[in-house]
Structure 1
């Protein structure tokens, strides 16, 4: 609908102004239509659009690439060029390919004194500073070069809905450099000022160029304002007033789409407020009906909540036993206080049968209580068991919160005496319960919010009620800090996707939070970035040492990232199957290595301006188990050459879900332009927790846990520590594991001790389990163990995927 509306508006405006303008527009569109375009649909459900091409591998210039015909057998790397970036992906990942119609983009040329004589910039060095675009579309870029700071003045030479072109302008020492940035990254206030300084605002044709540009950018409010101003200035454009109505309708549709997106992200309070104040003037009836239906759904759920609570109280009053009624009071209090739009589905069975007189009051109350505690469809009609589940859940919480081993033994003994404390029930309780570690503002070091802010930026962060800073003990015993940003309307009963973000050299966790979630606005009490918009939790650990400028591939660095993640699992409601790892610069180097070392943790990994080093080249097979989305700059020194071997492994071999995005004319950048594409990519990815086959390489003692296999006692011949790199004749240890039919599990590794963790997704506990661990065999029943389950959740923090049993065999 959005594309149809935009096309209609564009066509109407072309037809409404003088014929000369229409001819010019048609000429421009004809030029654009000669460019080939295609839409690729990949097996990961991502769509990539742009001018297509194929190359033999990264390092071969795309400009010399063939199109989709010819030499198909030798060219396994596809790319799509959308003008600002090239996206590379494997032939093996292509699900579908169709030619797309040419895009009729509005292109506005801006007159600048472009440098055509001078030295051509060969590489973009580390950026020191970039000034904002001034009113004439110029900015000063300062970068580090081999001779010190290099300053280049750039001017905006073209703007279209997708990107803006910047070229170096004439100076005393002109340097030729052309780059592009996303038009969406330029605020309307800045873009409007630039356009009005370059175009003739007394020419209706130029005024309408701005309108069309804003329309194609989907900045409908701005397009409407510009069109109204143009009509007021030029009465002969009065026949375009109808377009204002259509723009208002497009704006309403955009608002509805945003509302539905926020609803999907769980921001129900915000959505309800927007729906309650949805504009009606000039909005189509069908759009208003969509808004009213959405609002009615909320009102219906509120009414359902009241109905459920009344039915619960009515049935509770019918119980004859006073002791039973009293034992249910704490449960009633919890349900009344916490039943909301995110939890009401748990009461579906109770709501359906609340008036069923074939069931006694006790059975119906049991449906409500067990549904509340274990989730929709996980119910019992036995009231005694349902009440017992409440006690089981509370003891499980006590166990997970305890830091005392003896206390945990006592809790476990009490649990084993409770009815309903089976591993199957406890697994359901774990998935449905709130996070176990209470977030406090004061207390022991491992649970305290950092008090004194280090700078003004951190002070601003502390004023954000959804921003938390924690200090915990790291792998070396020394404390370190990590930041957590929660999305709007955060509810501990809802599971949220999560991004772990690592800063680059000289960066800070606060900057990573700002990059993903946006800066905190005191006036609106909001962050307006994409993580906030899409409902993601962002974790940013302070993972480096002071003044560190290189990634060291160390246990301390790995530990800080993993400890921060595990601690966050205990504090916040994170969907552990939708955790993404990302980093900038040396943070990108780190996430590349950490992802390959611990591939079982991530739904996907997004290294930004990253370089392959040390273990990355030896662990390349591990990349088959984790999805990668690389972002880099075309002119980032020799980084592409350094990464070429690993990139080509991922792109030319079967089974690797890898995309590589290269921005034209850009160097070692932050690439905020790409954030919308990143969220599109993340939306389609989810971790597979129990893969049937595992084939991974390890060379460090702490890279020893892979999904359901743990390795210990690795012979020294297979260990190479970072400080030993490059070790002569270094060997890597290969782990091969397979879940076969009929409860057969095979694991092969040179490790002296192998532990296999099991759950119902891996084996059927009703049958014998046949284990072959590096030649040692075992074929006997394996019984789920509550202590194993609770210890697993206490240490890993993953309440959604607990292991039920484990078997350890030694050589």
Structure 2
């Protein structure tokens, strides 16, 4: 959406400047937008006959936006709109640079010192590299509304690119006003001076700094009133841009579940910004939000009346309690689950007749079953409604139970009431069951500690977004900070966007017993246990869990994501420092897991390893993109964060049930899942607890030539045949169940045949088990993907 706004700003400002045009627009299948010049890497070869150089397209496809190269897989593209290159407002500050015998700058590992930019657009810059601390003088030679080019003026031939947003509006304005165009202007004609000032106004608007643009415009019209007509037209353009940006932000707030805040902002929307299409969209959103609020208040009113009426007529206490709880947990966003209830209760209200106890209980049953199972499954049968509600109560008791004895007591009590309880129905109830918790202070970081289990004592910090509702599920972003950076510092960087887009932040203190990440099983178990705890005890959507890491933390994100790809919706490593050992071995495990990789092309060895990773991923259509900043090193690219949020917004975990990987017969052509640690032993619905010792590797004594164990499995639900290829393990197990879309690997009503490595290994009927469903849920905290049966396949 940020790119969309940029496109719009160039179009509208172009109406004033009559010079702005657009670049290519690539829309990926998940809705994410890339903008810039679409290119493909190439090689130059010489024609053997003519001896002329010939440029041959070869390598990655990319979008080049001036500051960055965004590499993408063409198979992920939905539409491509080819356009001319962007022409933006820019300031050139030329300087003759001569570096005799100049060489390329050494790789950039970390910034050491950077002085402020002076009035000559220069600074001193020092960074850490493989050869020690390197210091250079730098000069800004090109400053556009989107990107900035910085050239080294000493020692090295080195240019680097920055997004203008990285510098900030106040510093950019200061730089422009120190440009020769704004200095020594006594002999400049008034018309030329006005043109330069309008150029600054347009520049700031193109950069998205509308308040600064308006401030400069007001100063301009005050000093040059003869240009009032042009100023008025420019103000209209800025108002239009501000209105579009304001509206897009409101849409994001709505997506974050902050409907009251969205209504408030829509009601106070400045009229100058609300014109034409924007006004139409505002009115449409207001109408939808008012209808949702009206339905919500009506549901609250009718549920309150229903509770009182049921109590007065001595109805079943279970129904009364259920209705009382529904009043507390329903939300405006999910009010459509009560459509059947609202429809029948409205009819009774219009009839003006007093409902009988039977009618009241039927109405209550519609509310309960509709809420638990969805409106399409709303059932007026009180017996069914009670069963569903007691199922929900059982799930909550099971989660809260402190030990296996109490969990067994909860299960036995439930099965005594409903001995024929179906795991499938319990799973459906589980989808909608959120553990009742006290609302946490929105916008504040709080710390938690695991009090039990093998990772007891592990600590993590959480932050809920603004106006968080404990009865609504939110995406979760787990962040891993860089070396010498605190978790809270990283959470603070993400906090404003977490509020705007509506996601929970979790920062894990991953440095267990020392400094740095050790790629150890202990760390993996701790991170998965923290994830489990967050899923069980916080309103986390298991289908929308993301990993972000910076520098050393990026290596953590890579390792955890590739080792457990079935747990996450996406991984965002920024400036990773380690891309070998397990990450190098596990690249196939990313075939269903989207990655958004960010680094600088001057980061040295890790940039080369990133290219090698994508050399493996790109031809196979893996769902990942790579953003590479030109001339930059191992840095925190803050301007990338809003774009990452847009990318995350279109993502949900992929959990395939018909096939995992592809069989390459052990060759490089295959896409089998790889494991070389005991903690990386399960992928989606296949796993092994007996990986051969000769397939195991350890970071402290890494064996680069050791081949991991591998998994491939394919299921045909029509025939109930399962074909498996495994290498490097004694036995394996299959987890049968359903994903969040309701898809399954098999038909549970028919026998299943399992063939492993061309040998029939198992035949029989798979019986869904409530114990397996609940114990697996307790182990993972995953309410979206359900396991009904575990089948161990032995040699």
Contact 2:106 2:130 in 1 (8 A): no
Aligned-partner SS, 2:591: helix
Aligned-partner SS, 2:323: helix
**Using the alignment, how far apart are the partners of 2:277 and 2:616 within structure 1?**
51
1:722-772 Cα shifts (integer Å, max 9, x gaps): 333127x62321111111132222333343342211114222222223333
Name which of 577, 584, 592 aligns with 2:558. Answer: 592
Contact 1:505 1:547 in 2 (8 A): no
Shift of 1:488: 1.7
**Using the alignment, how far apart are the partners of 2:504 and 2:203 within structure 1?**
34
Aligned-partner SS, 1:702: helix
Shift of 1:666: 0.3
**Using the alignment, how far apart are the partners of 1:174 and 1:697 within structure 2?**
46
* Aligned counterpart, 1:258: 249
* Aligned counterpart, 1:21: none
Name which of 585, 601, 608 aligns with 1:618. Answer: 585
Contact 2:37 2:85 in 1 (8 A): no
> Are 2:203 and 1:218 aligned?
no
**Using the alignment, how far apart are the partners of 1:133 and 1:13 within structure 2?**
31
> Are 2:670 and 1:693 aligned?
no
In the superposition, the TM-score normalised over structure 1's length comes to 0.84
Aligned-partner SS, 1:380: coil
**Using the alignment, how far apart are the partners of 1:586 and 1:570 within structure 2?**
28
Contact 1:220 1:247 in 2 (8 A): yes
Cα gap change, 1:579 to 1:348, in 2 (>3 Å): same
Cα gap change, 1:798 to 1:234, in 2 (>3 Å): same
* Aligned counterpart, 1:330: 321
Contact 1:87 1:661 in 2 (8 A): yes
> Are 2:151 and 1:193 aligned?
no
**Using the alignment, how far apart are the partners of 2:373 and 2:120 within structure 1?**
61
* Aligned counterpart, 2:432: 432
**Using the alignment, how far apart are the partners of 1:686 and 1:313 within structure 2?**
36
1:386-424 Cα shifts (integer Å, max 9, x gaps): 133222212211111222111111110011123494323
Shift of 1:668: 0.9
Cα gap change, 1:93 to 1:423, in 2 (>3 Å): same
Name which of 516, 526, 539 aligns with 1:573. Answer: 539
Cα gap change, 1:164 to 1:546, in 2 (>3 Å): farther
Shift of 1:276: 2.7
Shift of 1:810: 2.8
Cα gap change, 1:283 to 1:619, in 2 (>3 Å): closer
Alignment of 1:429-468 (within 5 A): 429-435=429-435, 438=437, 465-468=443-446
Aligned-partner SS, 1:144: strand
**Using the alignment, how far apart are the partners of 2:9 and 2:23 within structure 1?**
19
Name which of 241, 263, 267 aligns with 1:276. Answer: 267
Cα gap change, 1:210 to 1:385, in 2 (>3 Å): same
* Aligned counterpart, 1:496: 474
Shift of 1:4: 8.4
**Using the alignment, how far apart are the partners of 2:275 and 2:648 within structure 1?**
33
Name which of 155, 159, 163 aligns with 1:178. Answer: 159
Shift of 1:145: 3.7
Shift of 1:576: 1.4
Contact 1:115 1:174 in 2 (8 A): no
Cα gap change, 1:744 to 1:466, in 2 (>3 Å): farther
Name which of 60, 64, 86 aligns with 1:77. Answer: 60
* Aligned counterpart, 2:49: none
Cα root mean square deviation, aligned? 3.2
Contact 2:476 2:506 in 1 (8 A): yes
Shift of 1:112: 6.5
**Using the alignment, how far apart are the partners of 1:659 and 1:45 within structure 2?**
14
* Aligned counterpart, 1:38: 24
**Using the alignment, how far apart are the partners of 1:10 and 1:327 within structure 2?**
63
Aligned-partner SS, 2:315: helix
* Aligned counterpart, 2:737: 759
Cα gap change, 1:477 to 1:804, in 2 (>3 Å): closer
Contact 1:168 1:177 in 2 (8 A): yes
Contact 1:375 1:428 in 2 (8 A): no
Shift of 1:539: 1.7
Contact 2:303 2:327 in 1 (8 A): no
> Are 2:452 and 1:480 aligned?
no
* Aligned counterpart, 1:513: 491
Alignment of 1:517-536 (within 5 A): 517=495, 528=496, 530-536=497-503
Contact 2:447 2:459 in 1 (8 A): yes
Cα gap change, 1:805 to 1:224, in 2 (>3 Å): same
Aligned-partner SS, 2:469: coil
Q: In terms of mean alpha carbon deviation, does 148-157 or 113-122 score higher? A: 113-122
* Aligned counterpart, 1:605: 571
Name which of 710, 730, 738 aligns with 1:734. Answer: 710
Shift of 1:320: 9.3
Contact 1:486 1:537 in 2 (8 A): yes
1:261-318 Cα shifts (integer Å, max 9, x gaps): 2112222232122123222246426544543443343333222223223333555566
> Are 2:222 and 1:232 aligned?
yes
Cα gap change, 1:484 to 1:115, in 2 (>3 Å): farther
1:73-96 Cα shifts (integer Å, max 9, x gaps): xx2521221110112233544555
1:338-383 Cα shifts (integer Å, max 9, x gaps): 3331331221221233345799332222111122233332322211
Shift of 1:604: 1.8
Shift of 1:384: 2.6
1:661-691 Cα shifts (integer Å, max 9, x gaps): 2111101111222223322332333222234
> Are 2:692 and 1:724 aligned?
no
**Using the alignment, how far apart are the partners of 1:372 and 1:802 within structure 2?**
20
1:200-233 Cα shifts (integer Å, max 9, x gaps): 2862122111111112123223222211211111
Shift of 1:51: 2.7
Shift of 1:503: 1.8
Shift of 1:793: 0.9
Cα gap change, 1:145 to 1:314, in 2 (>3 Å): closer
Aligned-partner SS, 2:472: coil
Aligned-partner SS, 1:625: coil
**Using the alignment, how far apart are the partners of 2:574 and 2:719 within structure 1?**
44
**Using the alignment, how far apart are the partners of 2:605 and 2:14 within structure 1?**
46
**Using the alignment, how far apart are the partners of 1:465 and 1:50 within structure 2?**
36
Alignment of 1:287-686 (within 5 A): 287-315=278-306, 322-324=313-315, 326-356=317-347, 360-419=359-418, 421-435=421-435, 438=437, 465-472=443-450, 477=455, 479-517=457-495, 528=496, 530-545=497-512, 548-549=515-516, 551-610=517-576, 611-651=578-618, 653-686=619-652
Contact 1:439 1:571 in 2 (8 A): no
Aligned-partner SS, 2:604: coil
Q: In terms of mean alpha carbon deviation, does 584-593 or 473-482 score higher? A: 473-482
Aligned-partner SS, 1:790: helix
Aligned-partner SS, 2:687: strand
Aligned-partner SS, 1:588: helix
1:177-197 Cα shifts (integer Å, max 9, x gaps): 421211122332232222222
Q: In terms of mean alpha carbon deviation, does 774-783 or 160-169 score higher? A: 774-783
Q: In terms of mean alpha carbon deviation, does 370-379 or 573-582 score higher? A: 370-379
Aligned-partner SS, 1:377: helix
Name which of 106, 112, 115 aligns with 2:89. Answer: 106
Alignment of 1:83-102 (within 5 A): 83-102=66-85
Cα gap change, 1:623 to 1:328, in 2 (>3 Å): closer
**Using the alignment, how far apart are the partners of 1:91 and 1:342 within structure 2?**
36
Aligned-partner SS, 2:37: strand
**Using the alignment, how far apart are the partners of 1:331 and 1:724 within structure 2?**
58
Structure 2, unpaired ranges of 5+: 46-53, 186-192, 352-357, 661-671
**Using the alignment, how far apart are the partners of 2:774 and 2:760 within structure 1?**
28
Cα gap change, 1:96 to 1:327, in 2 (>3 Å): closer
Contact 2:479 2:547 in 1 (8 A): yes
Shift of 1:779: 3.1
* Aligned counterpart, 1:810: 794
**Using the alignment, how far apart are the partners of 1:13 and 1:98 within structure 2?**
24
